[in-house]
Each structure stands twice: as structure tokens, then as C-alpha cells.
Structure 1
Amino acid sequence: MKKIIVMTMICLPFLVAAQQNKAQERQQKAAEKKAKIEQLIKQEEEGALVFQKQSTFGLNFNSDGFGFTYEHGKYKTIKKTNLWWLSLGERKDPKQYKQTNTFTGGGGAVVFFGNSYVYGKQNNFYYLRLGFGQQKLLGAKGSKNGVAVSAIYGGGLSLGMLKPYYVQVPDNSAQGTGTKDIKYTDSTASTFLDPTAIIGGSGFGKGLGEIKFVPGATTRVALRFDYGRFRETISALEVGINAEFYSQAMPILVGVNDQKKFFFNGYIALQFGRRK
């Protein structure tokens, strides 16, 4: 015990000194960062471009699905940045929902079987968007501690991708008594739309080789809230709307939107990236 106490007494000053050094290093880094930001603010007030370009990755939570966006921007003036972006995601019908088949076993227990599936879903609707536009700083130029608010606007091309949605049903043909995968067609409609005949959803890979590509156009309008505009790292929240028009109908659920070509949604996106 005495040896432990002695060793503790010997090591304690070194531990305290190490903690003090770390605290001093943190304070020094904070002071350097503050000085750099103040220098950038001064340069911008004199009319200089303090950054040349930016790149961000975004996670979009849409009112009808989700998506991912890569965006690249080139600063043209203090308030204007030219942008191009690439987005990939999936649209879902607001009426669709997943369900799982059940039956009551011995003792009244509810037993689940089969994969979950969306009843009446005809296609998975994916999109790939390429857009061009601008980011415009609104109001004041912003401060080192404030939140810079910018408007985002632009448009471009959209490629819609319809992947047939498959479900598993019993295979009662002469060749077997297992299961088979079917999609919605005129010949399978009665079985496809019979919930008592569906075992569950097919795997994601089913239908990949049958994707139908449909060209379209897209527009985007948003507000971006940038936390720390003079920092090299970007952490921003974006709230906006997207609109798309396709050259032909993009059905998702059977009988619900068979003739729908125009799609409109709202979204919230988390943006992360860097400025240079």
C-alpha cells in the first residue's frame, strides 16, 4: 500500500502537468481558429473571395421517400456560388405501407411468416437527378458566430427508374409445389392483388434486370442554414422542395397513380462537407 501511495505521489505532478499542457494546446488552437476567422471576415469586408469552392454530401429526408446528394460549388462573388449536384433516391407513394402475413398457431399464438411486402405495389421508383443552379447569400454577409441563410435554386435532368415489384406466391403447377415470384401483369392481376395468396415480398435483386428508364426534368428551390460560414468544414441544414416531370406515367401502386407524370415533394437535408 505504501508503495502505491509513493508512486501516486511521484506521478501526480506529471499527470497534472500533462493535463495543463493539453488545456493550453486547446486554448491555443481555439485562439488560432478565432484569429483566422476574424482575418477571413476582414478580407471579405474588403471585397475578397475567402474561399474558391465547396463540396458537400447530403442526406435527404423527403416527404415521399429518401435520397442522397453530392453537390459541388464554385464561388463567383461574395454572395453568389454556382452549383451542380447529383442526387439518387427512391420515391414512395404516401398510401403504401408494409405488412406481414400471420396465422394463429396453437394456444392462440400469432405466428408471422414470409417477408414483409407492400400490397398492390407495382414498381419501385428510383431517380437519378443532375442539376445546375446557384446559391445566393441572403441579407447580411453573416458573422463569425451567426448562421448564414442562403437561397438554393436551379434545375436539370432527371432519370426515372421503374423496377418491377415482385411477391412470392404458392407454386401449384405440375412442376412443383413450392413458391414462385410474380409481378403485376394482366395475367397475374387476380393473384397479385389477392392478399390471401401472397406469402411475402421477393428479394431486392428480383427485377433488377427489368428496370425501365424514363427521362424527365427537375427543379429545386430551398433555404440553407449554414452554421459557421467562415469555417472550412460545412455543417448545414437545408429545407426545400423538388418538382419533377417525366415523359410518361410512373406508376407505383396499382390503380392509384397509373397516369401520374408530375411529382412534387418537400424535404429536409443534412449537409456536410468542406470549403477550400
Structure 2
Amino acid sequence: MRHLLSLTGLLAVLTSSAAQAQGSSSSPNDDPSYRKEFVYGLNFNTRGGLIGGLSLRSTRVLTESWSRYWSIELVEVKHRKEQRVASYDGGTYVQDKANFFYVVRPSIGVQRVVFRKAAESGVQVNALASVGPSIGLEMPYYIYYDYTQRDSRGNPIGGEDIRTEKYDPALHADQRYLLGRGPLFTGISEIKPVIGGHLRAALSFEYGRYRDAVAGIETGVLLEMYGQRPVILRAPSVADKDINNRFYPSVYLTIYLGSRS
């Protein structure tokens, strides 16, 4: 909670300073050569998989040093204790996983130039802070389970009976018959929303030789809290609240490209 309050205070200070800078800027030499910036990128974070997700950001320049922006991010959030295991027939699944958890993060924020690069080369360093809602989407995790009746030698009796079902660690406790993860979007019609909010503070490092193009990396800390506890893992004889959390801090890195006008 102290981290949330600290980031809220940082955002308030930056927003106030941006407004003052916009109002006090009267020299034409303070105006940059572009007014808008649009970037898109790949997100990597400590709560995601190999690739955390995708992000878009649209920025409007206020002064030489200050900008405001809106952004939207789509990521998958994983539980820290997720373990991928292999089934006997070569399939894989995540043990005790109840739901995929995807998050859409729209946000508004401010950006300040810390170090400006030269006109045609160099690296520019920016400080960013933003806030917004977190729209979580729980989607049931499906698996293939083998209900085939077999004789004493293990041969099928009356044909195979392999079903696609929601993974329930209590119902599917015998992992000898768990064949692997089901089709990815099988549970899309059963998505359940979980609403929360997030704050972030970051630094970006912009590269590029031309004023109308931008490329760089953004790295920072994101703090996220949900009103209702998302259920990502579920285990027999263990309460959901003892496995899953409401608070999801993470460190992230986004690689982005974009344009200016």
C-alpha cells in the first residue's frame, strides 16, 4: 500500500508540474519540432511468459520537456507457482491451473524529458508515470482427459473416450489420464471479468536518427490491485485465497517502435 501511495503522489506531482510548464512556456524556441507520437511494442514482465503482451501509446507534446499520453496494454498474468509438466503421450499442461488470466490496462500519464538527444542521433531519456483501471479476464483452462475403459492389459474396451474438460485438480487427480492442455480458446465464451487498478513509474530510452521516427525501450515498475481475488491456480483441500493474490507487483521491459508528426 505504501508503494501505491508513493506512485500516486509521484503522478500528482508530475501532472501538476506539466500543467505549470505548459502555462509558463511562451518562447517559440521551447517548442519541439513534432506534436504527436504513436508507438507500439512488445512487453516482457516478471508476471508473464516468454512474451508478456502488447502495448500501444499515443503522446501529445505540451512543451519541450513535458508530454501527456494515453496507452493501452494487453498482457497475460501468470501465477508465480505455475509448473508445466509433460503427460505420458507427449502433451503438456500447467499443473493445478484453473484459469488463464488476461489483463487489459488502459491508462493516462505524463512524460518528462530527463536527457534530450541531439537532433539526428544519440539517446533520449524520459521519465513516465501513469494510472488507470485493470480489466482482468479469467478464462477457464481446459485439458484433454482420457476416460477410456481398458482391460487388465491396458487395451481399450469399446473404443477411446477422450474428453475436453475444464481442469479441476480434484476431479482430474489421476494424472496418468491427463493428456495435455485443450485448445487455447475453448473457454472464451465463459470469460469472467475481474476489475482492479494499476500505477506505474518508468524510464524510457529512445533511439533513432530521424525526428519523424522513434525506437526504444521502456523499463519500470507496475503495481496492480484487484477488488476480487483472481483465481489462477486451484488445489484440492486448499482455499483459493490461500493460493491466489489480489496484489500483483511486477517489473517490466517494453521494446517499441513508432512515428512522430
TM-score normalised by L of structure 2: 0.77
1:97 to 83, 87, 91: 83
Matched, 1:142 2:91: no
CA RMSD of aligned residues (A): 2.3
Report how many residues are paired. 219
Please tell me the residue identity of whatever aligns with 1:147: V
Cα offset for 1:82?
A: 0.5
Aligned-partner SS, 2:174? coil
1 or 2 for the larger relative contact order (CA 8 Å, sep ≥6)?
Answer: 2
Aligned-partner SS, 2:170? helix
Matched, 1:164 2:147: no
In structure 2, C-alpha distance between the alignment counterparts of 1:240 and 1:259, rounded to whole Å = 24
Unaligned runs of 5+ in 1: 1-43, 103-112
Please tell me the residue identity of whatever aligns with 1:143: A
2:65 to 58, 79, 89: 79
Extract structure 1 runs of 4+ deviating beyond 3 A: 172-177, 255-259
In structure 2, the residue matched to 1:225 is 205
1:67 to 22, 45, 53: 53
Aligned-partner SS, 1:73? strand
Structure in which a larger fraction of residues adopt helix: 1
In structure 2, the residue matched to 1:273 is 258
Unaligned runs of 5+ in 2: 1-26, 150-156
In structure 1, C-alpha distance between the alignment counterparts of 2:42 and 2:67, rounded to whole Å = 21
Once the two structures are superposed, residues 36-80 of structure 1 have per-residue CA deviations (whole angstroms, 9 ceiling, x without a partner) of: xxxxxxxx9922231110000010011121010010000001111
Cα offset for 1:259?
A: 4.2
In structure 1, the residue matched to 2:163 is 180
Contact 2:232 2:244 in 1 (8 A): no
Once the two structures are superposed, residues 167-208 of structure 1 have per-residue CA deviations (whole angstroms, 9 ceiling, x without a partner) of: 111225899741112224xxx543323322311111112111
Please tell me the residue identity of whatever aligns with 1:49: P
In structure 2, C-alpha distance between the alignment counterparts of 1:194 and 1:62, rounded to whole Å = 33
In structure 2, C-alpha distance between the alignment counterparts of 1:260 and 1:63, rounded to whole Å = 15
Query: Once the two structures are aligned, what percentage of the paired residues are identical?
Result: 29
In structure 1, the residue matched to 2:19 is none
Please tell me the residue identity of whatever aligns with 1:48: D
Contact 2:96 2:169 in 1 (8 A): no
In structure 2, C-alpha distance between the alignment counterparts of 1:76 and 1:175, rounded to whole Å = 73
Please tell me the residue identity of whatever aligns with 1:86: I
Please tell me the residue identity of whatever aligns with 1:196: R
Cα offset for 1:227?
A: 1.1
Once the two structures are superposed, residues 214-266 of structure 1 have per-residue CA deviations (whole angstroms, 9 ceiling, x without a partner) of: 11111111100011486211111111111211110112122476441111111
Matched, 1:127 2:103: yes
TM-score normalised by L of structure 1: 0.73
In structure 1, C-alpha distance between the alignment counterparts of 2:40 and 2:122, rounded to whole Å = 22
The higher radius of gyration belongs to 1
